[in-house]
Structure 1
Amino acid sequence: MNSKLVSYDTRITGYVSKKQIKKLKGVKAKELVLWPPVSEIVADDPPTGKIHFKSLAGITKTFPVEAFAAGQ
């Protein structure tokens, strides 16, 4: 199980397409003492079981798909 602090604005926008969300705005994830905005979320294609979260600050974090399954 992954534990990560995430902050959501009252308005979240982005462009959704198959296996990705680009130009995401309104979501931030705490990384050490910073809160860089998450700008893109991508699931691998072909599927590898990984989801990548990218920030404008150049930080990319990868998590297993299972971490986002219902009930987790």
Structure 2
Amino acid sequence: MLQELGLPKGLFPLDDIEEFGYNRANGFMWILHRKKKEHTFKKIKQTVSYATEVTAFAEKGVKTKELMLWLSVVEVYVEESSPGKITFKTGTGLSDSFDASAFELDM
């Protein structure tokens, strides 16, 4: 699903997933983890925290400054004009972009 939307396949850690779903008709997706999950993306030295339930409305072509606060991400997008960058936006309007390769699956 992530690849279909133009997002890196490693955006969500795959271990401890109990359930995943994606409704293509309306773009609603969900991931249920057994427990809260922290994951470090080594290439960009960023640690993120995933709640036990992650939900989103996703669509192709949709569109965090670093602070000492945990902020919820409300948008994740890859611009067609810049497919090598992925941008994360918070509800406060803060955003940050990273190389999309940092979120690929480690093989």
Give me the TM-score of the superposition, normalised by structure 2: 0.52
**Of 39-48 and 61-70, the range deviating more from structure 2:** 39-48
Deviations 1:4-45 (A, max 9, x none): 121111111110111447xxxxxxx7x332011100000111
**How high is the sequence identity, in percent, across the aligned residues?**
33
Where structure 2 has 5 or more consecutive residues not aligned to the other structure, the ranges are: 1-42
Tell me which residue corresponds to 2:92.
57
Structure with the bigger percentage of strand: 1
C-alpha separation between the residues in 2 aligned to 1:6 and 1:49? 20
Within 5 A, what are the aligned runs for 1:26-37?
31-37=66-72
- Let me know the Cα RMSD of the aligned residues: 2.4
Output the CA distance in 2 between the equivalents of 1:48 and 1:13: 24
Q: How many pairs align?
A: 65
Q: What is the distance in 2 between the residues matched to 1:46 and 1:33?
A: 31
| Counterparts of residues 36-51 of structure 1 (less than 5 Å) | 36-51=71-86
Q: How many Å separate the matches in 1 of 2:86 and 2:75? A: 10
Unaligned runs of 5+ in 1: 22-28
How far the C-alpha of 1:62 sits from its partner, in A, is: 0.1
Larger Rg: 2
